[in-house]
Structure formats: C-alpha cells, structure tokens
Amino acid sequence: MKTILVTVDSLRYDHYEYMEHTRSFLGDGHPGAYATATATLGTFPNVFTGTYTKSNEIDTSFVEEIDIPTVGITTNRLVSDRYGYDVGFDTFTAPSVSTEAGIKERVAGRLPEGPIYDAVARLYSLYQRVAPTTVGRSFRPAADVIDEFRSAVDPDGEWFGWLHLMDPHHPYDPEEGPLDRGAAQAVSRRAIASGVSGDDADTVRDLYRREVVELDEQLARLWSWLPDDAEVIFPADHGELLGEDGHWGHPGLLREELLHVPFATTLDGVTGPLVSSIDVPTLVLGREY
C-alpha cells in the first residue's frame, strides 16, 4: 500500500474548478459527494471512525488497521492529538496550542454544533477584529506540510499518509492578492463576524479563490512527487459560505454550499450516485469498515 489521504478544510465544491493541477491529476471528482457535517468538529470523527458519532473526540480509528508505516500531519488544532487523531499513526504532527488558540479550542470542544456554538464563533471573530495580532500566515502553509511528508516517507516503500490542509480556511490571506496580509485578514474576519457587502464582499470572495489556486499550486508538487503506484483520496471536510443570503464562513446551517464538497480519488469502486466523508475508511482499507 502507498495511499495518501489529503483533506482540505473549507473547500467549496464550485471552487474545485480553479484547481487545475489537481483536476489534471485526479479528474473532475465525484459529482455527488457530501460532508457529514458543516464544520470540522462534526466531520472528522465520522471520517476516522466510519460511524455517525456525535463526539468531538475519537478513541479508535481505521488507521489502527494499517500495519505499514503511517504518517499524519494536520494543520488544524481541532483534529490534533488533543482530540485523539494521533491514534494509529507512527508519526504524527499537529499545531502547538497557544494561549489564545487554547481558549478557542476548549470552548469549541465543549459545545455541540448549533446556535450557541455559532454565536460563540461570531463573538470570537469579533474579538479577533480588535485584538492586537502579529501578522503572519493564519495557518501552517501547505508547502511546509508537503515538505515534511516527503521527508518522512520512503517513496519506494509502503506507507499510509494523511495531510490536513487549512489554506482556504478563513481568514483568507493568500500570498498574492489585492491587499496586504493584515488587511486581508481584517476584511475576512469582518465578513465572518458581521458580514460585508459591495466591494468588500467581492474582495473577500477573490481572496478565497486565490487561496484555493495557491493551494493547488503547492499540491502540484505533491502530485508530481508521488510514485506511479500511489493511491490518493482527496475530500474536503466541508464547504464555505461566501455571502449567500448574507452568510459567511461555515456556521451551523444545512446549506448545499457547506455540505456538497469536492471528492476525488485514484481508487476504483467509487461508482454510486453518492459518496461521503464517512466512506473514507472503507476506501483506504479496501473493505467494509
């Protein structure tokens, strides 16, 4: 087995068309792919347990069934070892927890998805608008993750890898764009916290699209490096709202823009009219899980 699961946070189905390198490598993907939840906390327990669990944490994972070297690299604290996602991995890397991030994480871990969670998330976005911050990348970039993965595995050996990439997650701050990083983060956070319209709305949508394009450029490096016999599974954990009916980000709304996601793979057998993030364990293992 040489199999890599590449999950992307907050990637809209209709923006997969901007990922030219990935589409060239994996094809157009499954037209009927749906996430099991509208946010990371709800989706990933289903991805790794293969069940519709309501818990934000996991204590078992399909990765435990894999008896070759396993490498996991995540750029989201909500899918870190704190929540059990290191289970089954021989090597696992997750973001360190800063004081500010730790507050957000502890609150998120204790609230079920719903109106209260959404209200707290909006309040946190308002806080970020006024809190003094050092202007750097919001999340570890895909380029770093890909470099770490390439150095961690033997391309000629057997392995299973999981990379979770946060590049399209808000605040949107691409390397190249109409605004400097600080201004890009500010207008993105304003959209999430209280909404934007007019030119600001167009700017935020453009920043998001640029994040997706830049992610694709980095993924091209991964696709070209992979051995010819490697298998790839590429789903988004959920989508993103970009101003539809005044909504931004991924609040707890059962919207097509949040649930209909890109899902592409080199594996055979994904032939039915629907596929979901809960199918990942069965696809990786090649049997029902």
Average of pLDDT values for 215-229? 98
pLDDT(16) > 90: yes
143-187: pLDDT as tens digits: 999 999 999 999 999 999 999 999 999 999 999 999 999 999 999
187-208: pLDDT as tens digits: 999 999 999 999 999 999 999 9
Q: Say what the pLDDT of residue 104 is.
A: 52
Q: Say what the pLDDT of residue 136 is.
A: 83
17-45: pLDDT as tens digits: 999 999 999 999 999 999 999 999 999 99
89-129: pLDDT as tens digits: 999 999 976 544 545 555 555 555 556 656 665 565 555 44
Q: Say what the pLDDT of residue 119 is.
A: 62
Total tally of structural domains belonging to the chain: 1
Give the torsion sign (CA, 275, 280, 284, 286): negative
107-116, 230-239, 260-269: least confidently modelled range: 107-116
Residue of 192, 140, 137 lying closest to 164 (CA atoms): 140
Q: Say what the pLDDT of residue 148 is.
A: 98
CB neighbour list of residue 105: distance below 8 Å, 6 or more residues apart = 77, 78, 82, 97
Give the torsion sign (CA, 61, 1, 93, 184): negative
Q: Say what the pLDDT of residue 99 is.
A: 42
Average pLDDT, rounded, for the chain: 90
Q: Say what the pLDDT of residue 91 is.
A: 98
Q: What share of the chain is helix, strand, coil (3-state, %, to 5)?
A: 45, 15, 40
CB neighbour list of residue 30: distance below 8 Å, 6 or more residues apart = 263, 264, 265, 270, 275
Question: What CATH number does the domain containing 135 carry?
Answer: 3.40.720.10
Distance between CA 280 and CA 289 in Å, rounded? 9
Q: Say what the pLDDT of residue 283 is.
A: 95
pLDDT tier for residue 252 given thresholds of 50, 70 and 90: confident
pLDDT tier for residue 270 given thresholds of 50, 70 and 90: confident
Q: Say what the pLDDT of residue 12 is.
A: 98
Distance between CA 68 and CA 160 in Å, rounded? 7
Average of pLDDT values for 64-83? 97
Mutual orientation of helices 142-152 and 198-225 as an angle, nearest 10°?
10
Q: Say what the pLDDT of residue 137 is.
A: 84
9 CB neighbour count, 10 Å cutoff: 26
Is the Cβ–Cβ distance between 28 and 252 less than 8 Å? no
What secondary structure, in 3-state letters, does 183-252 show? HHHHHHHHHHHHCCCHHHHHHHHHHHHHHHHHHHHHHHHHHHHCCCCCEEEEEECCCCEECHHHCEECCC
CB neighbour list of residue 169: distance below 8 Å, 6 or more residues apart = 9, 10, 76, 138, 139
Name the residue with higher pLDDT: 128 or 62: 62
How do strand 70-74 and strand 159-165 relate by DSSP bridges? parallel
pLDDT tier for residue 268 given thresholds of 50, 70 and 90: confident
Domain hosting 92: range is 2-285
Distance between CA 63 and CA 285 in Å, rounded? 9
Distance between CA 216 and CA 202 in Å, rounded? 21
Residue of 127, 158, 224, 168 lying closest to 40 (CA atoms): 168
Residue 227: asked if its preceding bond is cis (omega within 30°), the reply is no
Average of pLDDT values for 246-254? 93
Q: Say what the pLDDT of residue 85 is.
A: 98
Radius of gyration of the chain (CA): 18
DSSP string, 104-140: HHHHHHHS-TTHHHHHHHHHHHHHHHHS----S-SS-
